[in-house]
Amino acid sequence: MARRKPTSHDGPPPEDFVENILDVDVSAEMETSFLEYAYSVIYSRALPDARDGLKPVQRRILYMMSQMGLRPDRGHVKSARVVGEVMGKLHPHGDAAIYDAMVRMAQAFTLRLPLIDGHGNFGSLDDGPAAARYTEARMASAAQPMTADLDEDVVEFVPNYDNQLMQPEVLPAAIPNLLVNGSSGIAVGMATNMAPHNLGEVIEAARHLIANPEADVEALMRFVPGPDLPAGGRIVGLDGVRDAYRSGRGSFKTRATVSIEQVSARKTGIVVTELPYLVGPEKVIEKVKDAAQAKKLQGVSDIVDLTDRKKGLRLVIEIKNGFNPQAVLAQLCKLTPMEDSFGINNVALVDGQPRTLGLVELLRVFVDHRLSVVRRRTAFRLAKRQDRLHLVEGLLIALVDIDEVIEIIRSSDEVADARARLMAVFDLSEAQASYILELRLRQLTKFSRIELEKEQEELRREIAELEDILGSDARLREVVSDELAEVAATYGTPRRTVLLEADAAPALPAAVSAGPAGSAAKGAPASLQIADDPCWVLLSTSGQVARTSDAAALPVQAPRQRHDAWRTVLRTTARAEIGAVTNTGRMLRVQVVDLPQLPPTAGTPNLAGGVPVKEFLTLQRGESLIGFAPLGAVIALGTAAGVVKRVNPEYPLNRDDWEIIGLKNGDSVVNMAPAADTDDVVFVTRDAQLLRYSASLVRPQGRTAGGMAGIKLGAGDAVIAFGVVTPDDPDAVVVTVTASAGSDEDGTGPSVKVTPLSEYPAKGRGTGGVRAHRFLKGEDGLALAWVGHGPARAAAANGASRALPTEHGRRDGSGVPAGQAIDAIGPAPIAVVEAAAHEAAAIVDTAAGTSSVAADVTMDDDTETLW
C-alpha cells in the first residue's frame, strides 16, 4: 500500500494548540441538514409560486430576457446566450437545467399559452430539443404581461446569489399563469401536477371573484368547467375535476379524438387527430405494435403516421375486414396511451409555504396579487406625478418674474447662494429652486409657458384619478378587472378540449354468431366481429358501391334533388358472399363485409359515401360491372346479341372469379337478375322491338355454356335493355326513350313513352317480339329502355331529375317530347320496399349461400356523381 508523502505540516501541534471536539447526535444533524435541503428544493427549485405560477428558474429566465430586451418585436438570439446570462447572474446551477426549463416554456404542446417564442428544434412529444447552441429564442407576446411594470415598484426585489444584483421576488403576472399553463414538479416529500386551462375561462372566473369576493367553487365552475389541454382531445368524466377544484386533488381521463373512416376501397380505419396530453404518436405506434405482437390486440392490420405541418396529427389505424371498429377502438383505449389518466395535485407556494389549493384559493391568491401590484403601481405613478407637478408649479412661478430670477442668479457668487435666495424670494422648495437653476434658455419662451400650463392641468387630472383608485377598493377592483378583460381579449383562444360528463368509453358489443363458413376473422373473439346483420348492397349506374348498416335503411320515398341512379339493390347480410357480374360474362366473388358501410339514415341512402367500383374490384380493360347477384340463386342474363341464359348456382369454391356465360366475339351482357320459373324475361332492342316470354322456357345451364337464342334481331339491331318481371305485377311498366329528334337548345329533345307491361303479349322464345315505340320524323332508334316495377324516374347525366309522362301510352304509339336529355331511368325509391316485400318469400338464409334481390334499379337522392 502506498504511503502518504510527508508534508511541511506534519509534526507535533504547537504549544498553544487547544483541542476542542464536539459530540453531535448524527440523527439530529441529519434531520437538520435534510430539512434545510428539503426546504431549498421546495422553495428554490420544484414548486411554483401561486402568484405568478412560476418556479424560480422560469422567473429568472423571463426576467433576464426582459432585461436583455428580447421582446417579440426584436430578433431571436441564441438560446445559449440567454442560458449563460441567467446562469451567470441569477441562477447558479447547471446550464442543462436552465435550458430544459426554457425549452418547456416554448413548447406549444406542453403549455396552453407558451411564454417563449422558440426558433429551431425545440423538441416534440417523442424527441428532445436541439442543443442550446443551435436554437434561438425571444419572449413570446404572452410573456409581456408577465413582466410588465417591473420598473414601477410593483413587487419586491431580492439580492441574487452573490448579493451583487437584484431580482424580483415574484413577477407582476397579469396572466393567471398557474391555472392557464399548469405546472409539474417533484420536491422532497411532495409533488405538484396541475392541468392547463383556457385563458378566457380562467379570467372570467377571476373577474367574477373580483366582483364577488365570497363566491364559492360552484359559482366559479360555471366559468371554468374543466381543463383545456394544449393538444385538445377529450376529457371523460368530470367528477375527478370537480374534486380537484374543491380540494386540490383529483384525477380525470383523457382520450384521443378519433373518427372511423373508409381509408381505402377495402379498408376501414380509425383516424386519430388528437392525442391525450403529453402523449406522442410514436409512443402510441410502439404500444399498438407491442400489443399486436403479444396477441393482446386483435383486428389491427397496420398503423401509419400521416402527420404533417398542414393537416397536423393524423394517425391511421387500419382495421382488418370482419372486425367491429368500435370494439377495436375499445381495445386500443385499454391497451395503449390513446386513453390516459391525469392526476391533479394543486400544490404551490403561498407566502413561502407549500399548500394544496382548490380553484377558489388559486384564483384568490392571483387576484390578491394583482390587487397588490395595481395598488403599488398606482402609488408609484401618483408619487411621480406629484413630484412632477411640484416642479412644474415652481417653474411657472419663476416664469412670472423671470427677469428677477435671472438677476438673482447673475448676482449670486455660487449655486448654493442662488438656490437659497430663490427659495427666500419666491417661497420655493429646494427641489423647485434646483430645477429652476437647471433650466435652459429655450425653456423661457412664451410657448414653453403654455405647454407647462397644459402639463399642469393634465397632471392634476391624472393625480385625481390615481387618488380615486387608491382611495376606493371598488375602483381598484374595477381597474384590475378591466385589465384582465383586455388580456383575455388579446391572448385568449377558443377551447380545444371537449368535456364529456359521463364515461362514454366505446363498449365492447355483445357476442354475435360467426357468419358463413370462412367469413369470420380467424382467432378473433366474437365480440370483435361485425355482426351478421341484414343489410342492403347498393350499386349505382355511375359505378359507386356501398352497403347500408341494416336492412331498414330503405324505408321511404324522399324528394328528388340531384341524385344518382341505382343499378342493383341486393338484400343480404354483412358477412355473406355475393357475386359481381360484368359485361364480359365474368362473376367475381365479393365479401360484403369488405364493402364500405354508409352511415345510418332516416331516408334514402346517399351513395356519396360509397367508393368507385374500379377501386374495389380488379376489372379488365373495357370491362364494366353490370350488377350484384346472390350466389345461391338462379340468375338470367341477356346479351346485346339477343342471347339469353339462366345460370345454375354451381360456382367453384376455390376461385375468386369465373366465367358464367360463353360470349361470342363482339357480344356483351346487357343486364342480369335473379329469375325463377314463374317470372318473365323481357328484351327491348334499339329498333323498339319488345319480346316477353316465360323464364321457364330457358332451362338453367352450367356456368360455361353459351346460352340460347333469346330474341330474333333484325339487321343492325341490338338489345339495349333486359329485365325480369313478375307476370301478374300490375305496376310493371316499360319506359322507352328515343335518340333525340332535335336538340336541347330548341326544346324538343328526345321523345319518351311509359307503357304498362300488360299491353305486351307473351311470345315464344327466339321470336322477333312486337313494336314498343313508333318513331317520329328524325328519330331512328331507341337510346334508352327500362323494364321493371314502376313508377319510373328519369335523370340527366349531371344528376338533375327529368319528368316522365304521367299518362300511359299505347304500346305501338309514339312518345311525347321530353324537352331535355334523359340519360338514366329507374324506379322510385319506394319501389324498393314494395319489391322487397314482394320478394320476401324468396329470401333464403345467407349462411346457406342464398339471398334475393329486392329490386333491379332504384334512385338515390342528393348525389352529384355522373353516369
Contacts of 123 (CB under 8 A, 6+ apart): 103, 107, 129, 130
Contacts of 575 (CB under 8 A, 6+ apart): 322, 514, 515, 516, 519, 520, 529, 530, 532, 592, 593, 846
Contact 519/575 with Cβ under 8 angstroms?
yes
CA distances (Å), 565 to each of 227, 615, 752, 820, 828, in order? 49, 19, 18, 17, 10
CA distances (Å), 600 to each of 263, 312, 453, in order? 19, 29, 79
Distance CA 216, CA 213 (A): 9
SS3 helix, strand, coil % of the chain, rounded to 5? 30, 25, 45
State whether residue 681 is helix, strand or coil: strand
- Rounded to the nearest 5 degrees, what angle is found at the Cα of 168, between the Cα atoms of 164 and 173? 160
Contact 519/553 with Cβ under 8 angstroms?
no
DSSP character string of 95-135: HHHHHHHHHHTT-TTT-SS-SEEEES----SSSPPPPTTT-
* 400-408 long-range contacts, CB within 8 A, separation 24+: 401/426, 402/444, 405/436
Distance CA 843, CA 850 (A): 7
Contact 274/233 with Cβ under 8 angstroms?
yes
Distance CA 532, CA 515 (A): 6
For residue 791, cis peptide bond before it (omega within 30 degrees of 0): yes
DSSP assignment, residue 508? P
| The C-alpha cell that represents 363 in the structure block | 384564483
- Bin 631: left if φ > 0, else alpha if -120 < ψ < 50, else beta: alpha
Q: Which of 39, 43, 134, 277 is catalytic?
A: 134
Torsion angle in degrees (nearest 10) through CA of 302, 307, 311, 317: 20
By residue count, the chain amounts to: 867
Q: Does residue 39 carry a catalytic annotation?
A: no
Q: For cell 437653476, what's the residue?
A: 437
Paired residues of 584 in beta bridges: none
* 506-513 long-range contacts, CB within 8 A, separation 24+: 506/326, 506/327, 506/329, 506/330, 506/333, 507/326, 507/330, 508/327, 508/330, 509/324, 509/326, 509/327
Catalytic positions are 134
